[in-house]
Amino acid sequence: MAVHAHPDDESSKGAATSAKYVADGVEVLVVSCTGGERGDILNPNLEGDPRVLRDMAQVRREEMAAAAAALGVRHRWLGFVDSGLPEGDPLPPLPPGCFALEEVDTAAAALVRVVREFRPHVMTTYDEDGGYPHPDHIMCHKVSVAAFEGAADLERFPGGEPWQPLKLYYNGGFSRERIERFHEAILASGQESPFAEWLERRSDRPERRVDARVDCADHFEARDRALLAHATQIDPGGFFFRVPRQQQAEIWPTEEFELAASLVPTDVPETDLFAGVRELVGEGGTGA
């Protein structure tokens, strides 16, 4: 189960890993905590598009369905309202009723219901900083951890059949080393790199731990189709596509994860998110 804040996050974080496990016969469920209703149009080709401006929520539902089909995953909406990304100095207050202002256990109860229904052995989500400090990403982290810890606890979350996932991971993927490798490849091709400013901004930011590297280059094509399905959010000429796919596969063929919790014995570094799980439940019984 991959828990994300908005539609499109599942395609930019761990998407090729999801597609790989689907191809391997694993059931994979993506959960979107919000509908992305307050998202801006980030693709210049769709600026001013009347249908998008009229009903962003419906457009993003359709985009998510297309992305899920590209990856081969199942999908569930958790049903909370996008908080938007506050900007300005001082930052404006978050809008009433949004996901980031929910009580953690109230929001987690909705995710617990999905966990108890789907019964995943492995969950993935964001680290405590949200991957980046978007209020919905930080809330997604809190809710996912609460659900991982509480899905087997009927006193904390009454109702349904209890279930305990066995491993929890935080998404990696935007490490400085990876971006530097792509940056250097673009410069070597004689082009201007879109990553120069990004690297400068992150120069003092500590790197997260990497505990698992999943080889998933064979599924970069599915990842890219899923990304492009989110047409309002992804510019086809943007930084995601500046390094040719084959070159990406040669430079960096893996996606990375940080092991946040494991209830099964495992040795890091791992190459499989189900390390320790397969031995416990058998090859045919894994869900993500």
Over range 112-129, report the average pLDDT: 98
What mean pLDDT value characterizes the chain? 94
Rounded distance between C-alpha atoms, residue 193 and residue 262, angstroms: 39
Q: Which domains does the chain have, with CATH numbers?
A: 2-172+209-285 (3.40.50.10320), 174-207 (no CATH)
Kindly state the tokens that stand for 221: 């094509």
Q: Which of 173, 256, 174, 253 is nearest to 218 (CA)?
A: 253
Paired with 169 in beta bridges are 124, 259
pLDDT at 205: 77
Residue 266 has pLDDT above 80, yes or no: yes
Q: Which of 135, 177, 151, 178 is nearest to 261 (CA)?
A: 151
Asked whether 202 and 175 are in contact (CB, 8 A), the reply is no
Question: Which band of pLDDT confidence, cut at 50, 70 and 90, is reported for residue 285?
Answer: low
204 or 229: which leads in pLDDT = 229
pLDDT at 89: 84
Does 105 count as an annotated binding residue?
no
What's the alpha-carbon Rg for the chain, to the nearest Å? 19
Does 6 count as an annotated binding residue?
yes
pTM equals: 0.95
Least confident segment among 104-108, 139-143, 169-173: 169-173
State phi, psi for 183 to the nearest 5 degrees.
Answer: -55, -45
Residue 223 has pLDDT above 90, yes or no: yes
Does 219 count as an annotated binding residue?
no
Question: Which band of pLDDT confidence, cut at 50, 70 and 90, is reported for residue 287?
Answer: low
Least confident segment among 76-80, 126-130, 199-203: 199-203
Alpha carbon dihedral 36, 41, 43, 44, in 10-degree steps, equals 180
pLDDT at 173: 74
Kindly state the tokens that stand for 86: 């506050």
Question: Which band of pLDDT confidence, cut at 50, 70 and 90, is reported for residue 239?
Answer: confident
Question: Which band of pLDDT confidence, cut at 50, 70 and 90, is reported for residue 55?
Answer: very high
What percent of the chain has a predicted confidence (pLDDT) above 70?
A: 98
Give the β-pairing of 74-80 and 29-34: parallel
Rounded distance between C-alpha atoms, residue 242 and residue 43, angstroms: 15
Over range 149-177, report the average pLDDT: 95
pLDDT at 207: 87
Residue 286 has pLDDT above 80, yes or no: no
Residue 283 has pLDDT above 70, yes or no: no
Least confident segment among 23-37, 83-97, 99-113: 83-97
